[in-house]
Amino acid sequence: MRITVAHHLPASCQRWRDALARELPDAQVDIWGQGPAGSADYAIAWAAPGQEFFAQHDRLKAFFCTGAGVEKLLSSTDMPAAIPVIRLEDAGMGAQMADYCVYAVLHWLRRRGEYDEQQRAHVWKQLAANDVTDWPIGVFGLGVLGLHVAAAFRALGFNVNGFARSAHEHAGIQSFAEQGGAGDFAAFMRASRVLIIIAPLTPATQDLFNRETLALLPPSSYVINVARGGLLVEEDLIELLDRGHLGGAALDVFRKEPLPPDHPLWSNPKVRITPHVSALTVIGPSARQVAEKIRRLERGESVSGVVDRRRGY
């Protein structure tokens, strides 16, 4: 069995190759361009490598993505439609995502930004405290990562709403869904004072959070985007922040990355920016997950994480 690694970053290529070789000692694991001619059985990368790669590797049984989001792979015209695409499921990302979101919300509700400003001005003044029960959390996307985030907030005493494509039953989470849930998207938005966007970027979610839909949130609401920049219309977010309808935002992903130096989000005092770091791929546990799925595929067994190309995840 042969596995080829085609990650776009050379250092990551080597780390993935070494990790997979440790997990699958009987397999031949190489880096594309450094291995022999002919097709591998499995490939792994973050984005589609290009026509030359697929011309050589024309007998792939599956293509593994090194992340949870697969839009870079699916949007490539070079990616053959017949090859199954398999994404990572958590592998250490869920805990990171939960930490990121919890920190952002507590920083906001405990008014730490305002206290930082008071410290710089040498001002001693206690500000009114927020009650977590007054700030219901709305998690848009109840996949593996979204459930990690929802559980973290439930443990802190927050009321949690969850929105998914189909109805979910999870203890302590008020379920909203397109099909069979407690209500529709508008009801979910109106019921949430903190919106956490954590769903895949698909044709159905592209530009979903715009002027009209964000205005459904209660006044002074807070928005967190840890999904993909394409779900959120940045100009509309800025408008609602400037108008005072939204109280603030924490953004880890953007429509264009890196965020251009002259983008108005940089200087907006109500926005906290991080450079796409809310959940980084941890190669060790991720390689173990990929290796186990390869072993199952070799035994003719089914695996989870296979992407439905029609849905985009």
Instruction: Summarize pLDDT for 33-79 with one digit per residue, the tens.
Output: 999 999 999 999 999 999 999 999 999 999 999 988 899 899 999 99
- What integer is the mean pLDDT of 118-138? 97
- The tokens for 215 are 């205005």
Return the pLDDT at 67: 87
- The tokens for 22 are 């440790």
Return the pLDDT at 179: 73
Scan for tokens 């002027």, then name that residue.
211
Return the pLDDT at 181: 63
Q: pTM for this one? A: 0.93
- What integer is the mean pLDDT of 24-28? 98
Which percentage of the chain shows pLDDT scores above 70?
A: 99
All residues at 6 or more sequence positions from 65 whose CB lies less than 8 Å from its CB, including other chains: 44, 45, 46, 73, 85, 86, 87, 88, 307
2 is catalytic: no
276 is catalytic: yes
Domains annotated for the chain, with CATH where assigned, are 2-91+281-298 (3.40.50.720), 93-273 (3.40.50.720)
Q: Which of 245, 276, 288, 309 is catalytic?
A: 276
The per-residue pLDDT for range 148-191, each reduced to its tens digit, is: 999 999 999 999 999 998 887 899 999 999 876 667 999 999 99
SS (H, E, C) 195-221: EEECCCCCCCCCCCECHHHHCCCCCCE
- What integer is the mean pLDDT of 285-306? 97
Q: Does the pLDDT of residue 109 top 80, yes or no?
A: yes
The per-residue pLDDT for range 265-278, each reduced to its tens digit, is: 999 999 999 999 99
- The tokens for 39 are 């097709």
Output Rg (C-alpha) for the chain, integer angstroms: 21
Q: Does the pLDDT of residue 2 top 80, yes or no?
A: yes
Q: Does the pLDDT of residue 240 top 80, yes or no?
A: yes
- Cα dihedral: 142, 98, 246, 71 (round 10): -60
Return the pLDDT at 178: 83
Q: Which of 278, 140, 249 is nearest to 205 (CA)?
A: 140
What is the Cα–Cα distance from 156 to 172, expressed in whole angstroms? Answer: 12
Return the pLDDT at 182: 63
Q: Which of 165, 193, 228, 272 is catalytic?
A: 228
SS (H, E, C) the chain: CEEEECCCCHHHHHHHHHHHHHHCCCCEEEECCCCCCCCCCEEEECCCCCHHHHHHCCCCCEEEECCCCCHHHHCCCCCCCCCCEECCCCCCHHHHHHHHHHHHHHHHHCCHHHHHHHHHCCCCCCCCCCCHHHCCEEEECCCHHHHHHHHHHHHCCCCEEEEEEECCCCCCEEEEEEECCCCCHHHHHHCCCEEEECCCCCCCCCCCECHHHHCCCCCCEEEEECCCHHHECHHHHHHHHHHCCEEEEEECCCCCCCCCCCCCCCCCCCEEECCCCCCCCCHHHHHHHHHHHHHHHHCCCCCCCECCCCCCC
Q: Does the pLDDT of residue 108 top 70, yes or no?
A: yes
